[in-house]
Structure 1
Amino acid sequence: MTHAPAHAPTIPVRRAAPADLDALVALERCAFSGDRMSRAQYRRHLASPRAAVLVADTPDEGLLGSALVFFRAGSTLARLYSIATAPAARGRGLGGTLLAAAEDAARARGCRGMRLEVRMDNTAAMALYERAGYRRIGRYAGYYEDGADAWRYEKGLAAC
């Protein structure tokens, strides 16, 4: 299954490995101005059976993006915690590719739905999620460390 628009070359997405830790931390610093995950948090998530850390990379360009999905015991809802793309990869459909891979990872775990939060001022991310079939289900005031509000979205994941 391809996880990219037809006009864009496919950037492969795979499960992250401990060897990706430095690149993940560097991408986090580059992609986000706040609410960043620490090296220790990434290390913990890479080893956790309740998380899927996915990365998109190429031999020529290195790590271009990542997605982090959390799974709760006894729940059929996955939570997309983060999608990050390197500045050099923006506009290439990578966000959609990572989102589709995150959904596939959730389906593989038996999840029937995915939830996520997005900054209310992140119109590009909201457009991506809405194009992918996510619907807004709630609002969180002061959700981010800088006090910004968030929308909560949800999508049902049909079995493939």
Structure 2
Amino acid sequence: MKLRQMTVADLPVVMAIEQATFPYDAWSEGMMRGELADQPRTRHYVVAEADDQIVAYAGLAVAADQADVQTIAVLESHRGTGIGGAMLAELLRVAGERGAREIFLEVREDNPVARGVYQHFGFEEIGVRRRYYDDGTDAIMMRRKLDG
């Protein structure tokens, strides 16, 4: 598995993963292009490749001393292999390098696997955003303080 910075050329594959992973609230290609346009100023997006194919991606936003995990998506066939954790570790590293003192994220209330991964990486649940997702599912807000 190899991580590298996401480019606009990766969008066809990334958008297919986005639709498969988030069928009810997938980002549009325009939204993703907007995120990539802010690299490296305030954004950092990576793709994970296995056997020379993109199988996952993740994104980070950093402003001043605060960072937010924008998204993490892994193809179903590659879940449970450590790819998501490797990408999260990369986002945490970059957030720290850019001076963030804490990092936030939202995760679907009905996704205990992802919540467990985030807790493993030191995130704590700090609140709930009711009916946050397009299908009405709540989001659990999580935060991790960063060394610095």
Query: Which TM-score band applies after superposition, normalised by the shorter structure?
Result: over 0.9
Q: Shift of residue 61 of structure 1?
A: 4.5
- Kindly provide the amino acid, as one letter, of the partner of residue 53 in structure 1: Y
Structure 2 stretches lacking a partner, 5+ long: none
Alignment of 1:124-135 (within 5 A): 124-135=113-124
Are 1:139 and 2:139 an aligned pair? no
1:41 to 31, 39, 42: 31
Alignment of 1:14-93 (within 5 A): 14-48=4-38, 49-58=41-50, 60-72=51-63, 75-93=64-82
Q: Does the residue aligned with 2:4 lie in a helix, a strand or coil?
A: strand
Q: Shift of residue 157 of structure 1?
A: 1.4
- Kindly provide the amino acid, as one letter, of the partner of residue 83 in structure 1: I
CA RMSD of aligned residues (A): 1.2
TM-score, normalised to structure 1, is 0.86
Q: Shift of residue 27 of structure 1?
A: 1.1
Alignment: residue pair count: 146
1:107 to 96, 100, 114: 96
Measured in 1, the distance between the counterparts of 2:70 and 2:7 equals: 18
Measured in 2, the distance between the counterparts of 1:95 and 1:18 equals: 21
Q: How much identity, in percent, do the aligned residues show? A: 33
Match of 2:110 in 1: 121
Q: Does the residue aligned with 1:142 lie in a helix, a strand or coil?
A: coil
Measured in 1, the distance between the counterparts of 2:127 and 2:76 equals: 30
Worse-matched range after superposition: 24-33 or 129-138: 24-33
Runs of 4+ off more than 3 Å: none
- Kindly provide the amino acid, as one letter, of the partner of residue 55 in structure 1: V
Structure 1 stretches lacking a partner, 5+ long: 1-10
